[in-house]
């Protein structure tokens, strides 16, 4: 079985390109060195390949189910594998030492997490969600909330979720109906239903800490009236909170992760059975919730976790694409079929299919997609570290650039690493869509990611409607300037000058087309083709990531570095030109989709 991700590629990106070792010069990471980074990555690789990868198929075929006692049942191998992950302390990687964490750079933690995501997407999601939950409470919670909920999550005793969507409101959070009623003791009573809650119920730890969006009294209509609450499965005194599992959703992929419909405050569990409070009073009915921060600022707080989750989903998509690429590469090297196109002797031996030009095309496409996406994910992780540890100007710059890149970091890998999985199946031929080979599961697992944490359309609207125009266009200006700095460095090198010129023309067109789109004077027209804008901008960003890698490769010799050169050439030759047609469409302010009447369908 192929390894789930390339250790050599991670080393190249972390040390030869991003120079993460230099982060140890910053006070926050001063206790670390390359030795500690390598030790964490080695531990992750070992644990992922021994305890996560071998049960990937098991989690797919033996889905979680609700037992007779109402508890969720997971295969024992998954429970023990997650327990080993917790015992190794890998879930505590980037947390402060004061909270029991390792205080690792985010970029190193993401690299370590990629091993688990590539090895077993379903198993990895429990810790991924918990880390995001704990980070949010650590940022906005009170000291008491941090002690009560964050520390046990960092220790691995508690798990965490995010509860946004409802049956009638997915991406449209303005339409949620979950309510929060203030109680006399300073807590709130939460009533409502949440849908599609990953890791929403299980028995892996002592407790599950739900972060729930709900509307408290006095809030404005829409998203400005939303507040954020900690709603645990069990209260601090051990009482079962009124959070009820209604059922499990059965997904096409990532089946080892429970996906739940949860009722909050429907009376299934009596949270105040020992209280003198009148049983039917509003203060009694509902799940007990603890307000995070201030009322009516919940979505602002939740975006802290959502943005982290979006980068994480992009990383998950990348990892699954990478796993499929390596599996199809291994298969192509050993599967013999056919002969060279110029070989006329039918009695000659068949050759490994990797010798056929079209198979090499599909392998190059996968390599260009997954290694480009991995570069973007790690680059985004380093921006988090620079934002956290830099002086004011550096931190502000990193934060703004990260804001602009986040919708791309989520959506581009979710689209194109899924395409890589599709190509991995194609390389396997008829075997590819059988369950005897892993690539069909990688595809199914990855197909969830274009929807997780917002569909492409949502992120297109975010990028074009908010990110590139915020602060008077400062976001787009920073992105263009940062890419241009790379282009200028590459232009002085004969080996990369031609590619630099190709990218420069597209960056200039990006700026021009953005202004043309917003010149329409009609926001509906300007945003009608936001998804095309997202895809075109994403391709430009990935081309930038490849140019950055080529500069790191320089004149180094060897098959690994030659592979980088050829994959970059493939992307610039086969992929980057696609943005020209998309820019033409955008500049024309095309109304085809906007004017299509529902009756024509």
Query: pLDDT tens digits for 176-211?
Result: 999 999 999 999 999 999 999 999 999 999 999 999
SS3 of 437, please?
Answer: coil
The strand pair at 158-163 and 207-215 is best described as parallel
* Structure confidence at residue 219 as a pLDDT band (50, 70, 90): confident
What is the pLDDT, as a whole number, of residue 308? 86
- Average pLDDT (456-472) is 95
What is the pLDDT, as a whole number, of residue 447? 98
The mean pLDDT value of the chain amounts to: 95
- Average pLDDT (515-541) is 97
Backbone angles phi, psi at 234, to 5 degrees: -125, 135
Backbone angles phi, psi at 230, to 5 degrees: -85, 120
- Average pLDDT (86-98) is 93
Give percent of the chain above pLDDT 70: 98
In this predicted structure, the answer to whether residue 279 has a pLDDT above a threshold of 50 is no
- Average pLDDT (542-566) is 98
Which has the closest alpha carbon to 243: 269, 274, 272?
Answer: 269
Do residues 465 and 476 touch, judged by C-beta distance below 8 A? no
Give the dihedral sign, CA 169/171/174/178. Answer: positive
What is the pLDDT, as a whole number, of residue 246? 97
* Structure confidence at residue 344 as a pLDDT band (50, 70, 90): confident
Token code pair at residue 434: 């059988």
Do residues 108 and 114 touch, judged by C-beta distance below 8 A? no
d(CA 229, CA 475): 31
Token code pair at residue 558: 């060897």
Q: At how many degrees (to 10) do helices 392-428 and 298-334 cross? A: 40
The 10 Å Cβ neighbour count of residue 165 is 18
d(CA 204, CA 322): 28
Token pair 């689209």: residue: 415
Query: pLDDT tens digits for 133-145?
Result: 999 999 999 999 9
Which has the closest alpha carbon to 210: 102, 97, 292?
Answer: 292
User: Which residues contact residue 37 at a Cβ distance below 8 angstroms, ignoring those fewer than 6 apart?
Assistant: 14, 20, 21, 104, 105, 108
Token code pair at residue 320: 């699954």
Do residues 242 and 436 touch, judged by C-beta distance below 8 A? no
Do residues 328 and 394 touch, judged by C-beta distance below 8 A? no
- Average pLDDT (245-254) is 96
Record the pTM: 0.96
Cα–Cα–Cα angle for 28, 29, 34, nearest 5°? 175
260: which strand partners?
197, 248
Q: How far is CA 258 from CA 66, 73, 403, 527, in A?
A: 10, 10, 30, 35
The 10 Å Cβ neighbour count of residue 275 is 12
Which has the closest alpha carbon to 423: 376, 371, 369, 377?
Answer: 369
What is the pLDDT, as a whole number, of residue 149? 98
Do residues 48 and 322 touch, judged by C-beta distance below 8 A? no
Query: pLDDT tens digits for 107-154?
Result: 999 999 999 999 999 999 999 999 999 999 999 999 999 999 999 999
Token code pair at residue 225: 């009236």
User: Which residues contact residue 94 at a Cβ distance below 8 angstroms, ignoring those fewer than 6 apart?
Assistant: 101, 102, 103, 104, 105, 106, 109, 131
* Structure confidence at residue 284 as a pLDDT band (50, 70, 90): low
* Structure confidence at residue 274 as a pLDDT band (50, 70, 90): very low
* Burial letters 556-579, b for 16+ CB under 10 A, else e: eeeeebebbbebbbbbbeebbeeb
- Average pLDDT (215-228) is 90
Q: DSSP characters for 172-204? A: -GGG---EEEE-TTS-EEEEEEEEEEET-S-SS
* Structure confidence at residue 275 as a pLDDT band (50, 70, 90): very low
Q: What share of the chain is helix, strand, coil (3-state, %, to 5)?
A: 60, 10, 30
Do residues 188 and 289 touch, judged by C-beta distance below 8 A? yes
What is the pLDDT, as a whole number, of residue 276? 41
Do residues 35 and 24 touch, judged by C-beta distance below 8 A? no
Query: pLDDT tens digits for 6-56?
Result: 999 999 999 999 999 999 999 999 999 999 999 999 999 999 999 999 999
Q: How far is CA 217 from CA 188, 214, 221, 285, in A?
A: 11, 10, 11, 16
d(CA 25, CA 378): 19
d(CA 445, CA 247): 21
In this predicted structure, the answer to whether residue 319 has a pLDDT above a threshold of 60 is yes
């Amino acid at each position: 079985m192929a390894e789930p991700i390339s250790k050599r590629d991670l080393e190249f990106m972390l040390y030869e390109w991003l120079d993460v070792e230099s982060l140890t010069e910053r006070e926050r990471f001063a206790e670390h060195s390359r030795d500690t980074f390598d030790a964490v990555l080695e531990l992750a690789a070992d644990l992922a390949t021994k305890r996560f990868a071998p049960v990937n198929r098991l989690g797919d075929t033996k889905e979680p189910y609700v037992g007779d006692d109402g508890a969720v049942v997971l295969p024992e191998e998954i429970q023990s594998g997650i327990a080993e992950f917790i015992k190794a302390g890998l879930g505590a990687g980037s947390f402060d030492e004061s909270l029991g964490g390792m205080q690792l750079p985010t970029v190193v933690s993401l690299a370590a997490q990629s091993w688990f995501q590539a090895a077993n997407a379903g198993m990895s999601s429990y810790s991924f969600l918990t880390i995001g939950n704990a980070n949010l409470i650590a940022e906005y919670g009170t000291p008491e909330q941090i002690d009560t909920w964050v520390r046990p999550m960092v220790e691995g005793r508690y798990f965490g979720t995010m509860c946004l969507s409802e049956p009638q409101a997915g991406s449209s959070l303005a339409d949620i109906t979950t309510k929060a009623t203030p109680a006399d003791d300073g807590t709130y009573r939460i009533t409502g239903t949440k849908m599609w809650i990953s890791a929403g119920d299980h028995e892996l730890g002592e407790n599950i800490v739900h972060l729930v969006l709900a509307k408290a009294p006095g809030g404005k209509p829409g998203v400005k009236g939303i507040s954020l609450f900690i709603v645990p499965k069990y209260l601090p005194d051990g009482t079962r909170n009124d959070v009820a599992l209604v059922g499990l959703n059965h997904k096409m992929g990532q089946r080892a992760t429970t996906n739940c419909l949860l009722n909050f405050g429907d009376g299934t569990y009596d949270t105040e059975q020992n209280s003198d409070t009148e049983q039917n009073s509003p203060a009694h009915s509902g799940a007990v919730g603890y307000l995070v921060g201030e009322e009516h600022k919940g979505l602002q707080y939740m975006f802290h976790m959502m943005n982290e989750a979006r980068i994480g989903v992009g990383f998950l998509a990348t990892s699954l694409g990478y796993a499929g690429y390596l599996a199809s590469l291994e298969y192509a090297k050993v599967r013999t079929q056919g002969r060279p196109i110029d070989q006329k002797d039918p009695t000659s031996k068949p050759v490994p299919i990797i010798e056929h030009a079209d198979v090499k095309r599909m392998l190059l496409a996968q390599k260009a997609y997954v290694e480009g996406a991995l570069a973007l994910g790690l680059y985004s992780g380093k921006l988090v570290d620079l934002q956290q540890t830099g002086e004011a100007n550096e931190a502000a710059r990193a934060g703004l650039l990260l804001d602009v890149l986040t919708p791309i970091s989520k959506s581009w890998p979710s689209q194109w690493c899924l395409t890589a999985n599709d190509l991995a199946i194609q390389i396997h031929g008829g075997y590819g869509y059988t369950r005897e080979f892993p690539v069909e599961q990688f595809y199914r697992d990855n197909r969830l990611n274009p929807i997780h944490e917002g569909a492409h359309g949502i992120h297109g609207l975010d990028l074009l409607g908010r990110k590139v125009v915020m602060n008077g266009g400062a976001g787009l200006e920073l992105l263009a300037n940062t890419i241009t700095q790379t282009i200028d460095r590459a232009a002085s090198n004969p080996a990369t000058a031609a590619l630099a010129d190709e990218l420069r023309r597209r960056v200039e067109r990006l700026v021009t087309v953005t202004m043309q789109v917003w010149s329409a004077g009609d926001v509906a027209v300007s945003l009608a083709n936001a998804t095309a804008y997202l895809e075109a901008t994403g391709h430009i960003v990935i081309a930038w990531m490849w140019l950055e890698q080529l500069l790191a490769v320089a004149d180094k010799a060897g098959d690994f570095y030659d592979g980088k050169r050829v994959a970059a050439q493939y992307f610039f030759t086969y992929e980057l030109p696609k943005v020209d047609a998309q820019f033409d469409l955008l500049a024309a302010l095309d109304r085809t989709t906007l004017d299509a009447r529902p009756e024509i369908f």
